[in-house]
Structure 1
Amino acid sequence: MNDLVRIGLGGGCHWCTEAVFQSLKGVKKVDQGYISASNDTDTFFEGVIVHFNPEIINLEILIEIHLKTHQSAKNHSLRSRYLSAIYAFDKLQYAEAKNKLKRLSEQSLDFITQVHFLGEFKASREQITNYYKTDPERPFCKKYIVPKLELIQNDFVNYIK
């Protein structure tokens, strides 16, 4: 088995993003928190670090799921808090993410998602981590997280735990 690989993802509320990636086979851990890009380590956005086994789920599938589970094609008033981004840990990952976005854009899908090298990560306080797992009956979970989980259950059924 390969060692786990990490990728940073941001786009929407980190509670939603955390729940989506926790539901996938091959994802061993999801760190919820705030991420900065290497070119601007003073500005942080909500995001997650996904620790995954590439023998079970590859980066390309993770990126597709990420793009489909947040508003990756349009701006909105909360972009200053929720940057649509992929945060790479190395040059190979960066190139793979850029290539995946380019291929999807050629299919007439227009993404605003940016690819950056990860700068810093600050973990969320423990009281708000595992938000969906600790109480899926919360109104926020039902309104925002459940529809995202239903989407991936339909479109990525082979990757659901």
Structure 2
Amino acid sequence: MNNLQVATVGGGCFWCTEAVFQEVKGVKKVNSGYAGGNAPGKPTYREICSGLTGHAEVIQITFDADVISYQDILVIFMTTHDPTTLNRQGADRGTQYRSVIFYHDENQHRIAKEVLSQLQPYFNDKIVTEISELPIFYDAEQEHQDFYKNNIGYGYCTYVIEPKLSKLRKLHSDKLA
């Protein structure tokens, strides 16, 4: 029986986080999108990239909680991006690339705070990941869905996404599909 739940996280470019979670056992669906901004209406990728809307590039992960827990989702998330850099992941800079966990209910809020507290000793710098209640989630445009799968030969995929996937496979091999 499926115990489907949803997690929403942002760790820089959504192409990277989407590719990571598409390999995780128990993950049923990953949608790239935008959340956390204050501009009216549905934002576009171009608007998000301007950094003026306040939205972050995020993914929504639909997962079977009987196979993988929300806590495990967050541990994988926190260890496959740099949660200690404010508004930056690698060469991507701006609030749209911030590290963020958007919780859906108070239980997720509590777990997110616990996970960050438990992981802090493993990082040399302070974790700056934002924890906020999920506002409206907007699906990104179709060309951003399944980006890695559809563009595996693209330079960004080779130089940025593949190292994250290698890290995932090394740290979390027991959680992979």
State the TM-score, normalizing by the size of structure 2: 0.83
Alignment of 1:82-93 (within 5 A): 82-93=97-108
- Residue 155 of structure 2 is aligned with which of 126, 134, 139? 139
Partner secondary structure for residue 147 of structure 1: helix
Q: Distance in 1 between matches of 2:117 and 2:143?
A: 38
Corresponding residue for 1:102?
Answer: 117
Structure with greater proportional strand content: 1
> What is the deviation of 1:135?
2.4
> What is the deviation of 1:133?
0.9
Corresponding residue for 2:170?
Answer: 154
Aligned-partner residue type, residue 63 of structure 1: L
Aligned-partner residue type, residue 83 of structure 1: R
Q: Distance in 1 between matches of 2:163 and 2:122?
A: 24
Cα RMSD, aligned residues only: 1.5
Corresponding residue for 2:84?
Answer: 73
- Superposed CA deviations along residues 4-62 of structure 1, whole A, max 9, x for unmatched, are 100110021001111011111100000101111xxx64431100011111111111111
Corresponding residue for 1:23?
Answer: 23
Corresponding residue for 1:47?
Answer: 58
Aligned residues of 2:55 and 2:95 also touching (Cα < 8 A): no
Length, aligned pairs only: 157
> What is the deviation of 1:128?
2.1
Q: Distance in 2 between matches of 1:24 and 1:140?
A: 21
Q: Distance in 2 between matches of 1:117 and 1:73?
A: 20
Structure 1 residue ranges, 4+ long, deviating more than 3 angstroms after superposition: none
Unaligned runs of 5+ in 2: 40-53
Aligned residues of 1:41 and 1:119 also touching (Cα < 8 A): no
Partner secondary structure for residue 94 of structure 1: helix
Aligned-partner residue type, residue 7 of structure 2: I
Corresponding residue for 2:6?
Answer: 6
Q: Distance in 2 between matches of 1:108 and 1:7?
A: 23
Aligned-partner residue type, residue 24 of structure 1: V
Q: Distance in 2 between matches of 1:5 and 1:116?
A: 18
State the TM-score, normalizing by the size of structure 1: 0.91
